[in-house]
Structures are given as structure tokens and as C-alpha cells.
Chain A
Amino acid sequence: MPDEVKALLGRALDGEPPLDLDRDAIFADGRARLRRRRSIAIGGAAMAVVVAVVGTSALAGGLIGQSADDLGLGASASAPPSRPPVSVTTSKARPSTTENRPPVEWPRLTDELLTGKIPWPAEVTSVRGKPGSPRGFQFDGATLELVLGSASGERLLTVRVEPPNTLRMFCRQGEYCFREEMPTGLVVRTKTDHSDGRETVFANVRMPNGEEISLIESAWGDRARPHRLLPYPLFTSIGTTPGLRGYVR
């Protein structure tokens, strides 16, 4: 009986492809894990020394017995973390007279942005429609372009509603690509390109029903920030905003 089961399992291996393991990547990954483990061990030992020294000093200096307020900890413990406010500006949508197709509006996204529901990272200091864009905070056709401001420069976020099941993203040498499949059937693919010292992030979000959204974050303008501003999970959050659903070409 075990042999019978083994033969059955062996049938699943029919058509086995040639081995395609990246030997160098395994060594690199192993060495990186080893370095991390060693640095954690060293850090832990250093922390133990610091704790011991501080503890001894505290005992010697008579800190024990003083209240948190005396130590100046009260205010910082209760105050929420400070974060510069994100300014969100919108421009009025103008009715299009040149397009046959009516403009696609994304009112829910505007609501999300205005009410601060989208968790922009702390580095984002402003979100506005791209200057010169006729519709500012609304889709122009199937495309929305937002300029994200930060202390280190500006980035352009482009969001496009794509025809279902059309997006293809292939990875070339030097590009950093990931594919993420959620249990719900949502598929998110990201590709990060570092051409010309500038980072560009491409994200494809495919809903379980086949609807697809593409997002691109790139350097923009005279004060361009070369490096990525948004965390990868935020592309998924924006791409799955309910306001994008139900768009029909």
C-alpha cells in the first residue's frame, strides 16, 4: 500500500522540467542571512551591555523612585506621534468638449484623499493634480495623474484603468520584480526599474473578476525625487480602491 501511494504521488511529477535553481542566489541569500544573524547577535550583546551600564548608573544616581513626569517622559508617552499635515489640493473639473467619451470620474478616490483615508507615508507633504492636466483630481480618459510632494522632491503617480486581462509585465535583467497572490484571488505584480539613477515603480493590480489597474510612480519635474516615495503595499491599497470598480469601457 505505501508503494501504491508512492507510485501515485510519482505520477504527479510527470513532465518534470529541468532544474532551474539560481545557485549564486542561494549562496547570496545564505550569506545575507548569516550576516543578519551575526549582526543581531552582536547588537544583542551590545544592547545587554548598554542596559547593564544604564541600569547601574540609574541605581547609582538615584533615578529609581522618581516619577515619569520628573524624568520628562509623561508628555512624550501620551502625545500622539507628530506628523506634518498632508495638504491635498484639487482643481475644478472642466467639462470636456473635445472627447466623444465622457470623462471617467473617480469621486470616491477624491473622497478618500480629502478625508485622509489613504495612508500616505509621512514623507508625503502634498498631493495635487498634475499641473496642466485638464481634470486635476479626476480621470482624464482612463488615466489619473497626481504629483506627490516631499522634502526631497516630487514624484508623479499615474493610475490607469486598463481593459480586463490585458496587462503583461515581463522582467528584464536589472529589474526588481515580484508577484503577489492573495487568497482572495487578487494578483499584484510590481516591477522596479533603476535606469539612469532614477527609480520607477510599475504595479499591476488584477482583481479576482479580471479588472485591472496599473500604477506607475516615477520622478517628476524640476525638483524630481529620484527614489521611490510610496511603500509597495500602498500601490495595492490605491489599486483596490472601491471607486475604481465597475468601470466599463
Chain B
Amino acid sequence: MSDRDAEFGEYLDSRAVVMRRTAYLLSGGDWHRAEDLVQSTLAKIYVAWPRLNRAGNVDAYARKIMVRTAIDESRRAFRRRENVVGDLPEIGVPPAGVDDAVDVRRALARLPPGQRAVVVLRYWEDLSVAETAQALGKSEGTIKSQASKGLAALRELLAAGRVALEGSPCPTR
């Protein structure tokens, strides 16, 4: 195994779980899409690994790639490799407290992708306004405005009975 593979493998093992959580929120609450997103992000990181590793900014690059890929994919038809299965899956029993989680997922899924990305980076990844602006390639003013609108939309959607089972994306206000 080459140095690149060994070092990248260590990074992959240490960051995959955390990356998938962010990807899950960015994708609006779909674990399959989240794994696809992480997989394609990591493959892109592999290509640039020596440069990124030297510069010591792998996480920042990973966030940027993941967010931009998530936004791009949300704009076009969703296509993914199907999972290979040997047997039919059994039907699982949802864990307790699943209703809350489902509500938040639905609310997130209804935010426009750009707004969702700002909310996730600012409040889940704890990035500053400047860092979020850099990751998304937008101005700091836009980030502040999108964060404010995103939070307001989330609150509105989470208000009792406001998150419909099936609904169109929340309009950008």
C-alpha cells in the first residue's frame, strides 16, 4: 500500500462517520444519499490528497466539496447506484422518539438547498459567517441573510402541524 493510500485510509476511517452526519443534514435527511455524497467527496479528496495533506486543510476542502456536490445534486435528477442485497430486507421497528427526528428531517428537506447548506455549516459545523461564505463561494451578507431566513423557515415548519407529509420545497423568501 502506498503512502497516499495509508494516510488517506486513516483520514477516511477517522472522519467518515462525522462526514456522513453532515452529509445527511445537507441532503435533507436521506442516509443513502448521505453515503453517496460522502463516497464521492472522499474520492475527490483522494485525488488531491498529497496537496491537501501538505497544506493541512483537508477538512475545509472536504466541506467545500461536499456542500457544492449536495447543492448540485439537488438541482438535477437523483441517480445512484443501487445497493447490492442477497436477501430481502426485514421491516424494522422505528425507535422511540422517531417522530421528533422525522419532523426535523422533513423541515430540513423543505428548505431550499442553499439555505439548508448555510444552516448546516453555521449551526451544525459551527463555522463562522466568513468561513461559511468561503465554503459556499458567497458574500458574508448573503450568508447572514440566508441563515436568518433558514432558521425562520425551520421554526415555521416545525410549528405544530405545519410540516406536511408530502410538500413542495419551502419558497425562498
Taking the closest CB of chain B, its distance from the CB of A186, in whole angstroms, is 9
Contact among B45, B46, B77, B82 with A31 in the assembled complex (CB-CB below 8 Å): B46
The distance in angstroms between the C-alpha atoms of A191 and B84, with both chains bound, is 11
A6 contacts B124, C-beta separation under 8 Å: yes
A30 contacts B35, C-beta separation under 8 Å: no
Contact among A14, A19, A29, A173 with B40 in the assembled complex (CB-CB below 8 Å): A29
Taking the closest CB of chain B, its distance from the CB of A166, in whole angstroms, is 15
Contact among A5, A23, A177 with B123 in the assembled complex (CB-CB below 8 Å): A5
Kindly list chain B residues whose C-beta atoms are within 8 Å of the C-beta of A26: 12, 39, 42-43, 46
B123 contacts A30, C-beta separation under 8 Å: no
Contact among A2, A27, A29, A171 with B126 in the assembled complex (CB-CB below 8 Å): A2
The distance in angstroms between the C-alpha atoms of A177 and B83, with both chains bound, is 8
Q: Which secondary structure characterizes the binding site on chain B?
A: helix
A14 contacts B98, C-beta separation under 8 Å: yes
Kindly list chain A residues whose C-beta atoms are within 8 Å of the C-beta of B31: 16-17
Taking the closest CB of chain B, its distance from the CB of A194, in whole angstroms, is 14
Kindly list chain B residues whose C-beta atoms are within 8 Å of the C-beta of A175: 84
A8 contacts B104, C-beta separation under 8 Å: yes
* A108 located at the interface, meaning its Cβ lies under 8 Å from any Cβ of chain B in the complex: no
* A172 located at the interface, meaning its Cβ lies under 8 Å from any Cβ of chain B in the complex: yes
Give residues of chain B (80-130) contacting chain A, Cβ–Cβ below 8 Å. 80-86, 88, 94-95, 97-98, 100-101, 104-105, 108, 119-120, 122-124, 126
Chain A window 159-201, contacts with chain B (Cβ cutoff 8 Å), 1 for yes, 0 for no: 0000000000111110101111111000001010000000000
Q: Which residue of A lies closest to B5 (CB)?
A: A27
Chain A window 1-36, contacts with chain B (Cβ cutoff 8 Å), 1 for yes, 0 for no: 010011011111111110111110111011101100
Taking the closest CB of chain A, its distance from the CB of B159, in whole angstroms, is 13
Contact among A2, A34, A179 with B47 in the assembled complex (CB-CB below 8 Å): A34
Q: Which residue of B lies closest to A4 (CB)?
A: B123
The distance in angstroms between the C-alpha atoms of A37 and B43, with both chains bound, is 13
* B20 located at the interface, meaning its Cβ lies under 8 Å from any Cβ of chain A in the complex: yes
Kindly list chain A residues whose C-beta atoms are within 8 Å of the C-beta of B16: 19, 21
Contact among B12, B95, B154 with A15 in the assembled complex (CB-CB below 8 Å): B95
Q: Which residue of B lies closest to A8 (CB)?
A: B104
Chain A window 27-57, contacts with chain B (Cβ cutoff 8 Å), 1 for yes, 0 for no: 1011101100100000000000000000000
User: Can you name 25 A-B residue pairings with CB atoms under 8 Å?
Assistant: A5-B154, A6-B123, A9-B25, A9-B119, A9-B123, A12-B29, A14-B98, A22-B39, A23-B12, A25-B39, A26-B12, A26-B46, A27-B46, A29-B40, A31-B46, A33-B44, A33-B46, A170-B85, A171-B83, A178-B79, A178-B80, A178-B82, A179-B80, A181-B79, A191-B82
Q: A8-B158, A13-B24, A26-B43 are in contact. List 19 more A-B contacts (CB 8 A).
A: A2-B126, A8-B104, A9-B25, A9-B123, A11-B101, A12-B25, A12-B101, A13-B25, A22-B39, A25-B39, A26-B12, A33-B44, A34-B46, A34-B47, A170-B88, A171-B83, A178-B80, A182-B77, A183-B77
Q: Which residues of B line the A interface, CB within 8 A?
A: 5, 8-9, 12, 16-17, 20-21, 24-25, 29, 31, 35, 38-40, 42-47, 77-86, 88, 94-95, 97-98, 100-101, 104-105, 108, 119-120, 122-124, 126, 151, 154, 158
5 closest Cβ pairs, A-B complex? A30-B46, A177-B82, A14-B101, A29-B43, A12-B104
Q: Which residues of A line the B interface, CB within 8 A?
A: 2, 5-6, 8-17, 19-23, 25-27, 29-31, 33-34, 37, 169-173, 175, 177-183, 189, 191
